[in-house]
């Protein structure tokens, strides 16, 4: 059995990109219209950005271009993400990268001229048009790090080139890397990135699961040096940019846009590495005992605590779970969920060349799009709830804010998504008294919500910090060094509870987040916030949901600290994180008790 090609999957399992552009011709027409807008701005704006009025006119002009650019870029990106083997998709994506770089080059003078203005003039501009206050505040933060206009223009021209490492990574992973079948007891089984991460990692047959892990790791290993060189190139680009702009460290450069300081970043990693580890080791031991495994290996960590119980679920059944589980968010939110199914905002199909994992893209002025590869496992309820959390966030923020104000800090971005996972879990727990079902839900919260966000991504963050320390000191990394660093982090967290199997050190090759700055740690940051807010809701705080909706509508008009405060959480202290770790520990204890009860029945 081989993976279906994109043109072989049922159309109802795919998303409808016609809401972006009705045809390829319409897409190309939009590009021409945007080019005309760019040419007009490039001719009319130079020399006019000298006072507050001129500043506002320039921001308005570039806003119109952004509104045109977003759906064009989204169309190119989403087309490519569902089939990266398709030559037309590859070329469209590459052409958009070149187009975006060309536009950035022609209009780089706008930002340079704005930042050349006195602070007093920019403050006056904020008074002239308060809707741009947030945008101008962010400009003021960047002001000390702005280069000479000609230097900025040159860097803008290299935009597509600077994005090349990420494109190379995806091409290696999803186009060049073809996995052969693997064999267990004389039987052949198919293997691909999506099949491994969606099925084989969760496989209950230990021989098949471990054989799949070995086969998967073997193929990764063949590409480790190319992937490491690609990653090192990306890191050097980030380091060079940080140095050119006069940042003291690469961390300062990457955290500036997140609107948090280094202490909040380090705290998230250090506390979880040290204080969550004992709870997760207990969970690993529970898995080993329940499955009667000879030893607990890295390849066994994703298995279900009670695999014989996990039900399957169809796409249509998942709709009702979304509506019931998230109904507390209100009627408008549920209408958004219905629309996402009825209007095909979601791509469920499994096909060759499709991006791994799941994500939500939320183009301003259209509607969100969700990518997921549906396996019919019940845990997909949590994955889909997560991505619809992103969708709901930007559905509300895009409606309430202008394009410059809609997107919040990366630090906060995962709070709405993980919030939905918590609401779904709470709903499932409240609607059953069956001990086995309750155990399945709690184990899903740990294995899906907390393991994925608080462990998998946090371990990525701890590893990423080691990498950036080397780069910041002027060093480089290669495959052996990256393998060494990843193994160090895994061994530190799991201790002697889990055998870090050969191949586990290659896990760094699987995550695209490393090409997105300091992203991995933000999952645990967001989940810390959402855990605390969901507890407010669960404990009957009648104002919690309404406050959370207002937080979502606020978009990027406030910092992560301010958004969290709106939701009743103070992330300037370590208490919310400590409370969340204690909450996870309590869940593990409940699992241990429920397992013991079920075994004595």
432: left (phi over 0), alpha (psi -120 to 50) or beta: beta
- For residue 413, what are the contacts with CB-CB under 8 A and spacing of at least 6? 390, 522, 526
Q: Using an 8 Å Cβ cutoff, are 216 and 196 in contact?
A: yes
Order of strands, edge to edge, in the sheet holding 369-371?
Answer: 346-347, 369-371, 359-361
Closest CA to 69 of 91, 102, 118, 117: 102
- Residues near 484 by beta carbon (within 8 Å), at least 6 away in sequence: 505
Closest CA to 338 of 352, 353, 318, 359: 318
CB 185 within 8 A of CB 205: no
Cite the DSSP H helix spans in 539-574. Answer: 544-554, 560-566
Supply 178's token pair: 């073809």
Residues of the chain with pLDDT under 70: 1-2, 601
CA distance 9 to 344: 14
Q: Which two tokens stand for residue 335?
A: 């209408």
Secondary structure of the chain: what % helix, strand, coil (to 5)? 70, 5, 25
pLDDT of residue 567: 95
Query: What are the structure tokens assigned to 107, written together?
Result: 């209009």
pLDDT of residue 1: 52
Pseudo-torsion of CA 375, 380, 383, 386, nearest 10°? Answer: 140
Which tokens hold the place of 543? 């104002």
Over residues 253-267, the pLDDT tens digits come to 999 999 999 999 999
User: CA-CA distance, 591 to 574, in Å (whole number)?
Assistant: 26
Pairing outcome for strands 187-189 and 369-371: unpaired
| Residues comprising the chain, all counted | 601
Query: Cα separation of 117 and 75, whole Å?
Result: 36
Give the C-alpha distances (Å, rounded to integers) separating 303 from 192, 210, 283, 578. Answer: 18, 11, 11, 27
Q: Is beta strand 187-189 parallel, antiparallel or unpaired with respect to 182-184?
A: antiparallel
Residue 432 phi, psi (nearest 5)? -155, 140
Q: Which domains does the chain have, with CATH numbers?
A: 6-161 (1.20.140.70), 178-222 (1.10.287), 231-238+245-343+377-600 (1.10.1370.20)
Q: What whole-number distance in Å separates Cα of residue 174 and Cα of residue 168?
A: 10
Residue 282 C-beta-side C-alpha neighbours within 13 Å: 16
């Amino acid at each position: 059995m081989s993976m279906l090609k994109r043109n072989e999957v049922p159309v109802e399992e795919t998303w409808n990109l016609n809401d972006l552009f009705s045809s390829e011709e319409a897409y190309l027409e939009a590009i021409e219209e945007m080019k005309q807008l760019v040419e007009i701005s490039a001719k009319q704006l130079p020399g006019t950005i000298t006072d507050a009025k001129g500043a506002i006119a320039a921001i308005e002009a570039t806003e119109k271009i952004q509104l045109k650019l977003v759906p064009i870029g989204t169309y190119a990106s989403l087309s490519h993400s569902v089939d990266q083997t398709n030559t037309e998709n590859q070329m469209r994506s590459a052409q958009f990268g070149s187009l975006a770089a060309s536009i950035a080059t022609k209009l780089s003078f706008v930002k340079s001229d704005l930042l050349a203005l006195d602070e007093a003039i920019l403050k006056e501009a904020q008074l002239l048009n308060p809707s741009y206050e947030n945008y101008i505040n962010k400009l003021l933060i960047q002001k000390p790090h702005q280069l000479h206009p000609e230097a900025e223009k040159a860097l803008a021209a290299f935009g597509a080139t600077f994005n090349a490492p990420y494109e190379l990574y995806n091409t290696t992973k999803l186009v060049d890397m073809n996995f052969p079948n693997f064999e267990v007891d004389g039987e052949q089984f198919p293997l691909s990135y999506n099949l491994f991460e969606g099925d084989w990692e969760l496989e209950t047959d230990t021989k098949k699961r471990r054989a799949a892990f070995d086969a998967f790791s073997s193929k990764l290993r063949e590409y480790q040096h190319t992937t490491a060189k690609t990653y090192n190139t990306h890191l050097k680009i980030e380091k060079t940019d940080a140095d050119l702009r006069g940042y003291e460290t690469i961390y300062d450069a990457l955290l500036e846009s997140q609107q948090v300081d280094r202490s909040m970043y380090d705290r998230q990693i250090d506390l979880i590495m040290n204080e969550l580890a004992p709870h997760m080791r207990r969970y690993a031991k529970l898995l080993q005992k329940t499955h009667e495994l000879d030893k607990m290996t890295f390849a066994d960590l994703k298995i279900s605590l009670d695999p014989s119980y996990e039900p399957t679920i169809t796409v249509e059944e998942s709709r009702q779970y979304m509506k019931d589980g998230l109904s507390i968010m209100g009627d408008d939110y549920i209408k958004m969920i219905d629309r996402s199914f009825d209007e095909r905002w979601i791509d469920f199909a499994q096909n060759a060349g499709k991006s791994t994992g799941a994500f939500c893209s939320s183009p301003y002025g259209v509607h969100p799009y969700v990518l997921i590869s549906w396996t019919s496992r019940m845990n997909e309820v949590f994955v889909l709830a997560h991505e619809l959390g992103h969708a709901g966030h930007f559905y509300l923020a895009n409606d309430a804010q202008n394009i410059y104000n809609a997107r919040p800090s990366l630090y906060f971005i995962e709070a709405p998504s993980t919030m939905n996972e918590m609401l779904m879990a709470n709903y499932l727990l409240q609607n059953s008294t069956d001990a086995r079902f309750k155990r399945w839900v709690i184990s899903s919260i740990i294995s899906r919500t907390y393991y994925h966000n608080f462990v998998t991504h946090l371990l990525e963050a701890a590893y990423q910090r080691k990498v950036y320390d080397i780069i910041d000191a002027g060093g480089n990394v290669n495959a052996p060094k990256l393998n060494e660093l990843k193994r160090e982090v895994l061994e530190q967290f799991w201790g002697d509870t889990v055998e870090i199997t050969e191949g586990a050190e290659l896990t760094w090759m699987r995550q695209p987040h490393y090409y997105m700055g300091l992203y991995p740690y933000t999952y645990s940051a967001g989940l810390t916030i959402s855990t605390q807010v969901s507890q407010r809701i669960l404990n009957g705080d009648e104002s919690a949901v309404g406050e959370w909706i207002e937080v979502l509508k606020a978009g990027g008009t406030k910092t992560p600290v301010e958004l969290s405060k709106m939701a009743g959480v103070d992330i300037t202290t370590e208490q919310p994180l400590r409370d969340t770790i204690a909450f996870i520990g309590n869940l593990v204890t409940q699992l241990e008790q429920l397992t013991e009860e079920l075994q004595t029945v």
